[in-house]
Structure 1
Amino acid sequence: MSDTRVLPEETPVAIIYNGSTQAVMMATPADLEDFAIGFALADHAVTNLGQIRELEIVAQETGIEARLWLDEKRSDAVAARRRRMAGPVGCGLCGIDSLSEALHPITPLAGDNAQFAAKDLERALDALRSHQPLHDQTHAVHAVGLFGDSGAIYLAREDVGRHNAFDKLVGAMGRSGLSGISRGIAITSRISVDLVQKCAVARVPLLASVSSPTALAVQLAEAAGITLATLGRGGRIDIFTHMNRITTGARTHVA
Structure 2
Amino acid sequence: MIEKLSAATVRHRHVVLTLGLLLVGVNTAAPPSASAVGQRLLFLLSLTALVLAAVVMGVRPASFVVQPQIPAFATPGPAWTVFFALGYLGPASAHIGALLRATRQGTLSTFDVVLGVLWVVLAALMVTWAWRGHGVRLEPFGVRQTWALGSLTVPWAALLAPQVPSAADRRRSLPMRITEPHLVRRRGIPRGRGALRTDIVDAGFLAAAIGYYVAHPEHRAAIGGQAEYDRLRAALSGGEAALPGRE
Question: Which band: TM-score by shorter chain?
Answer: under 0.3
- TM-score, structure 1 as length reference: 0.23
Structure showing greater relative contact order (alpha-carbon pairs closer than 8 Å, 6 or more residues apart): 2
More helix by share: 2
More strand by share: 1
